[in-house]
A = this chain, B = another copy of it.
Amino acid sequence: MPANLGMAVVLKRLGVPTTYAKGTEIFCQDQQADLIYGLTAGAARTTRMLSDGRRQIGDFYYSGDVIGLETCAQHRFSAEALDICTVRAVRLSSLRALGVDGGFESAVWAVTRRELERTQAHLLVLGRKSACERVASFLLNIANQGLEQHEHGSGPSLAMSRQDMADYLGLTIETVSRMITHLQALKIVEFTSFRHFHVTRWDALLLLAA
């Protein structure tokens, strides 16, 4: 049960649904941030580019999540579809006008706070963890976050490419690949395909995640 359920419900009732193809931009960094977006199907990423092309991924979002609230006047990140996904956009000002009756402010705060918490956890990973620990933490999070969502028996799945993982974890694609190979050699995880895996030793994974 995500913390932003209330917000997600509002967006679902009010928003205009739009479909974005894989890799398409939902909104752009430095753009005016007057819309917020409820993800109702598929998955998305938020990214920020440095002037020379280096890329940092802020977070990954799934059905039920709210994107676009993470900023002030302008978006600090761009958002792009990881695969085909449908998004419902609502003008923030009209939402606010409507929310006088209900706990709109608190819903906004809940989403923002959740965002902050995730970003702070991310900060710790980028600042003080080794490549192996980063990948282990990442896989652990993925495996934990949607324990119910996985099709029964198939195990957790990765909505993003290796490059996306690398840009999220502050590593190169090669290092990510090597660490996954390493974790498999240790019999801690097992990949059934590029995008699907299976945790065989939760205790060891938790330990390696530091």
Stretch from A15-23, A36-44, A108-116, A148-156 that touches the partner: A108-116
Tell me the bound Cα distance from A119 to B129 in angstroms.
17
Main secondary structure of the interface of A (DSSP, over half): helix
Judge if A198 is at the interface, Cβ distance under 8 Å.
no
With A112-B113, A116-B115 as known contacts, state yes or no: A127 contacts B128, CB within 8 Å: no
Whether A124 sits at the interface, judged by CB under 8 Å, is yes
| A42-60 interface bits toward B, Cβ cutoff 8 Å, 1 = contact, 0 = none | 0000001011101110100
A100 an interface residue at 8 Å Cβ cutoff? Answer: no
In the complex, chain B residues whose CB is within 8 Å of the CB of A63 = none
- How far apart sit A210 and B72, CA to CA, in the bound complex (Å)? 22
Which B residues touch A71, using CB under 8 A?
117
Contact present for B113 and A72 (CB under 8 Å) = yes
If A109-B105, A126-B127, A127-B56 touch, whether A117 touches B170 (CB-CB below 8 Å) is: no
Flag if A76 contacts B109 (CB, 8 Å). no
Tell me the smallest distance from the CB of A21 to a CB of chain B, in Å: 27
Shortest C-beta distance, A173 to chain B (Å), equals 14
Chain B residue, CB-CB nearest to A54: B128
Nearest chain-B residue to A108 (Cβ)? B109
